[in-house]
């Protein structure tokens, strides 16, 4: 499965790294922003239509119908989940046959990323999460960096509300970096659903 190429310029020996976005023309910058902000149902996306082999491996049809977003940000559905505190219980760790070799490294990256962010894994706490690595690109191809696609959810055992998220993450620095970037995305998403860290969510 093609993963979106990164938006960072490569460092050369003669010049300092530049932000790839700033190097684009105003017209291309505007187009890129429009693409990032676009919102449409996952069921209408090219990803849904072109990669059926990645579907129904973790999420099911009813969830896919509710997901929305775009290929750059990923697709999500929020039932009203909100996170508070600094503990979460990882109750589902799943993969498919071709992604099993990377599960151990991914869990290690997840643990390190969340710990660094101040969130610890705790059994039988109020908040839960689960994930499945539904697809993996181990090496760079003509259209994709090494990376993976994930389906993940957060769940509040008290309110019974969930947040569902499907996204892909690739890196020109290899699969290992893509794993860490994916874990960072999960942590950032969790924090975005925390009123105490994101006051606008509480309004």
Is position 36 within any domain? no
pLDDT of 4: 45
pLDDT at 138 over 90: no
Q: Total domain count for the chain?
A: 1
- Residues of the chain with pLDDT > 90, as a percent, come to 63
pLDDT at 115 over 50: yes
Token pair listed for 167: 């996204």
DSSP code of residue 13: S
Cα-based angle 111, 182, 109 (whole degrees, multiple of 5): 25
b/e sequence 42-80, b meaning 16+ C-beta within 10 Å: beebebbeeeeebbebbbeeebbebbebbbeebbbbeee
Mean pLDDT of 172-201: 89
pLDDT of 2: 46
Which residues constitute the domain of residue 95? 74-202
Q: CB under 8 Å to 3, separation ≥6 — which residues?
A: 137, 144, 145, 147, 149, 168, 169, 170, 178
- Residue 196: pLDDT band with limits 50, 70, 90: confident
3-state secondary structure of 198: coil
Is position 167 within any domain? yes
Rg (CA), the chain: 17
pLDDT of 15: 52
Query: What rounded mean pLDDT belongs to the chain?
Result: 85
Mean pLDDT of 117-125: 95
* Phi and psi based region of residue 74 (left: phi greater than 0; alpha: psi -120 to 50; beta: remaining): left
Is position 53 within any domain? no
Is position 3 within any domain? no
Render pLDDT for 48-92 as a digit per residue (tens, 0 to 9): 998 899 999 999 999 999 999 998 889 999 999 999 999 999 999
Render pLDDT for 147-174 as a digit per residue (tens, 0 to 9): 899 999 999 999 999 999 999 998 988 9
* Phi and psi based region of residue 86 (left: phi greater than 0; alpha: psi -120 to 50; beta: remaining): alpha
| CATH code, 191 | 3.40.50.10610
pLDDT at 22 over 80: no
The overall pTM is greater than 0.85 = no
Is position 90 within any domain? yes
Is position 59 within any domain? no
- Residue 5: pLDDT band with limits 50, 70, 90: very low
pLDDT at 194 over 60: yes
Is position 61 within any domain? no
pLDDT at 140 over 50: yes
pLDDT of 142: 74
Is position 194 within any domain? yes
């Amino acid at each position: 499965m093609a993963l979106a190429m990164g938006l960072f310029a490569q460092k050369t020996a003669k010049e300092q790294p530049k932000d790839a976005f700033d190097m684009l023309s105003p017209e291309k910058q505007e187009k890129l922003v429009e693409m990032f902000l676009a919102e449409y149902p996952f069921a209408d996306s090219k990803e849904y239509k072109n990669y059926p082999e990645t579907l129904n491996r973790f999420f099911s049809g009813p969830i896919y119908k509710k997901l929305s977003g775009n290929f750059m940000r990923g697709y999500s559905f929020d039932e009203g989940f909100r996170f508070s505190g600094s503990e979460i219980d990882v109750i589902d760790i799943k993969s498919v046959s071709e992604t099993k070799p990377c599960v151990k490294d991914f869990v290690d990256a997840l643990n390190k990323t969340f710990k660094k962010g101040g969130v610890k894994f705790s059994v039988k706490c109020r908040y839960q999460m689960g994930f499945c690595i539904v697809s993996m690109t181990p090496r760079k191809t003509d259209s994709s960096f090494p990376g993976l696609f994930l389906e993940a959810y957060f769940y509040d055992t008290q309110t019974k509300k969930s947040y569902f998220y499907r996204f892909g993450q690739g890196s020109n620095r290899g699969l290992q970096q893509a794993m860490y970037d994916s874990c960072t995305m999960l942590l950032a998403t969790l924090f975005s659903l925390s009123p105490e860290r994101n006051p606008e969510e509480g309004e």
